[in-house]
Amino acid sequence: MTRFAIAFVLAAAIPLGNAVAADDAEHPAATEFKVHPIGHIKKADDRMLIVLDKKYLDGLLGLEQWSHVQVIWWFDKNDTPQQRSILQVHPRGDPNNPVTGVFACRAPVRPNLIGLSLCKVLAVKDNVVEVETIDAFEGTPVLDLKPFAPGQDSASGVKVPKWAGPK
Ligand SMILES: C[S@@+](CC[C@H](N)C(=O)[O-])C[C@H]1O[C@@H](n2cnc3c(N)ncnc32)[C@H](O)[C@@H]1O
């Protein structure tokens, strides 16, 4: 896969009041971060694989001891200025769902095209992690892997909007 760098641009936001203005003084108005894909999604037959670049192999040490991994990836098929400018959608593409901000749903369009999927780990072999399933397309760039740690990654008293609840 061709290697490339993805620049995250945090643009200056609409002024919201004194607290935000004070914050702005401490942080630059615009900052770029370079993120390099560590691998990509490969879907072969019925198998779903995260294929890491070999140079990241050492980073997989111990992952086989975890049952689940959070996969952070890039919605590369939507990487256009137009799609990155969308801030509100009907969640799940369903016009019956109320217009919702992209930071309040899991839309595949957003200013920074970061996808996050919680996956069951089936096997870790060499530079390949096999997962049960992932909702990213074949060839999707993978940015990071983090093991799912129930102590850190779960919450109590959870509420969700009606559109996201059970049907
Ligand atoms: C609703 S998004 C949720 C993704 C992830 N679970 C999240 O919460 O960030 C999942 C959809 O993104 C789309 N998708 C998958 N891979 C993509 C890619 N590489 N570029 C753009 N869209 C993609 C597919 O239509 C998939 O069904």
Tell me the backbone φ, ψ of residue 65, rounded to 5 degrees.
Answer: -85, -5
Residue 127 beta carbon below 6 angstroms from any ligand 1 atom: no
b/e 31-47 (16+ beta carbons within 10 angstroms → b): eeeebebbbbbbeeeee
Residue 78 beta carbon below 6 angstroms from any ligand 1 atom: yes
Residue 117 beta carbon below 6 angstroms from any ligand 1 atom: yes
Query: Which band of pLDDT confidence, cut at 50, 70 and 90, is reported for residue 8?
Result: very low
Range of the domain at 45: 6-11+37-75+113-150
Examine residue 106 and state whether it is found in any structural domain, yes or no.
no
pLDDT at 26: 73
Q: What is the number of domains present in the chain? A: 1
Residue nearest to atom 6 of ligand 1 (CA): 117
Examine residue 68 and state whether it is found in any structural domain, yes or no.
yes
Residue nearest to atom 10 of ligand 1 (CA): 135
Best residue among 6, 137, 140 to mutate for probing ligand 1, ranked by most atoms within 8 Å of CB: 137
Best residue among 75, 103, 140, 148 to mutate for probing ligand 1, ranked by most atoms within 8 Å of CB: 75
pLDDT at 11: 33
Examine residue 120 and state whether it is found in any structural domain, yes or no.
yes
pTM to 2 decimal places: 0.86
Q: Is the pLDDT of residue 136 over 80?
A: yes
User: Which ligand 1 atom sits closest to the C-alpha of 141?
Assistant: 19
Q: Is the pLDDT of residue 18 over 50?
A: no
**Half-sphere exposure at residue 49, Cβ-oriented, CA atoms within 13 angstroms:** 14
Distance 98 CA to ligand 1 centre (A): 20
Number of H helices, E strands in the chain: 3, 10
**Half-sphere exposure at residue 123, Cβ-oriented, CA atoms within 13 angstroms:** 9
Examine residue 43 and state whether it is found in any structural domain, yes or no.
yes
**Half-sphere exposure at residue 7, Cβ-oriented, CA atoms within 13 angstroms:** 8
User: At 60, which CATH number?
Assistant: 2.40.30.70
Structure tokens at 20: 């935000």
